[in-house]
């Protein structure tokens, strides 16, 4: 019981220490390199980087004029380094490469010059690409490799009086990134331009699509069929055009 109480006291003191210090916030981009800043007024013989949350562990240790990585947390092995040519000038910053979502948390930099710095690291995988397409009367919008979990919204121009009924699914990968996809059936009526917006806390992208009528889809299908017939059958363009037009009329009648 005494050991549990002692542990709780140390835990409380640790969080009080963090709260009493200014915590700097650093945003790192997924899979890229990121610098966690720490500086001292003079050269430091000892530099110790550790992560306090979500799990306490050694991130990088330096003393005796060289890295000491025997106790380094295995999740950081091969991904950390110091700016050794600048340590004599008080630079104790940490370079973290190949940033992962699991790297999020609160870090502590402690130097022999009694410098104590706390860094809260958060990871961002911005929305980089949105795909939007029409299949029949259904419009689908999707994007992949995003963090944190994104939000997806639909809108039309001009605004539609009919509520946009959509179905959105979100999937998280093994790398903790999010893939998102949403589809809706466009309302009947005048031509509309559909906009799909996907955003996170610091990034946002939008894609637009002008919804085609069924007759326009059939017209496009006729043009594609004509090219396929010419390429595959070797028939003359005139004959291929006639065949494609007959098929197109059949599709138009079904659409109407």
Structural domain spans, the chain = 23-124, 131-211, 215-255
The tens digit of pLDDT for each residue in 58-112 reads 999 999 999 999 999 999 999 999 999 999 999 999 999 999 999 999 999 999 9
- pLDDT classification of 192: cutoffs 50, 70, 90: confident
Q: Please, what is the average pLDDT of the chain?
A: 81
Strands 80-82 and 94-96: antiparallel
User: Which of 124-128, 164-168, 227-231, 232-236 has the highest average model confidence (pLDDT)?
Assistant: 124-128
Residue 203 pLDDT more than 90?
Answer: yes
C-alpha dist (Å) from residue 42 to 25, 95, 113, 115, 140: 24, 20, 7, 10, 58
CA 89 – CA 82 distance, rounded (Å)? 13
Q: What is the pLDDT of residue 218?
A: 46
- pLDDT classification of 253: cutoffs 50, 70, 90: low
Three-state DSSP state, 104:
coil
Q: What is the pLDDT of residue 241?
A: 59
Multiple choice CATH, 23-124, 1.10.760.10, 2.60.120.260, 2.60.40.10, 3.40.50.80: 2.60.40.10
Residue 245 pLDDT more than 80?
Answer: no
The tens digit of pLDDT for each residue in 40-56 reads 877 789 999 999 998 88
CATH hierarchy code of domain 131-211: 2.60.40.10
Whether residue 46 contacts residue 68, with contact meaning beta carbons closer than 8 Å, is answered with no
Q: Are 23-124 and 131-211 in the same CATH fold?
A: yes
């Amino acid at each position: 019981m005494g050991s549990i109480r002692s542990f709780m006291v140390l835990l409380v003191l640790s969080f009080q220490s963090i709260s009493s210090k200014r915590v700097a916030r650093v945003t790192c981009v997924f899979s890229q390199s990121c610098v966690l800043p720490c500086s001292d007024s003079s050269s430091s013989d000892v530099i110790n980087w550790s992560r306090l949350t979500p799990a306490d562990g050694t991130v990088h240790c330096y003393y005796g004029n060289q890295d000491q990585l025997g106790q380094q947390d295995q999740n950081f092995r091969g991904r950390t380094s110091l700016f050794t040519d600048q340590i004599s000038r008080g630079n104790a910053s940490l370079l973290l490469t190949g940033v992962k979502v699991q790297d999020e948390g609160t870090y502590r930099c402690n130097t022999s010059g009694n410098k104590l710095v706390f860094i809260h690291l958060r990871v961002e995988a911005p929305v980089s690409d949105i795909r939007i397409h029409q299949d029949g009367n259904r419009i689908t919008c999707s994007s992949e490799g995003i963090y944190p979990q994104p939000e997806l919204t639909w809108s039309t121009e001009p605004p539609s009086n009919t509520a946009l009924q959509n179905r959105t699914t979100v999937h998280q990968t093994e790398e903790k990134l999010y893939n998102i996809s949403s589809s809706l059936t466009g309302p009947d009526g005048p031509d509309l331009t559909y906009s799909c917006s996907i955003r996170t806390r610091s990034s946002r992208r939008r894609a637009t699509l002008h919804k085609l009528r069924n007759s326009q889809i059939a017209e496009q299908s006729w043009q594609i069929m004509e090219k396929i017939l010419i390429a595959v059958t070797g028939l003359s363009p005139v004959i291929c055009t006639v065949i494609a037009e007959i098929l197109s009329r059949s599709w138009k009648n079904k659409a109407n």
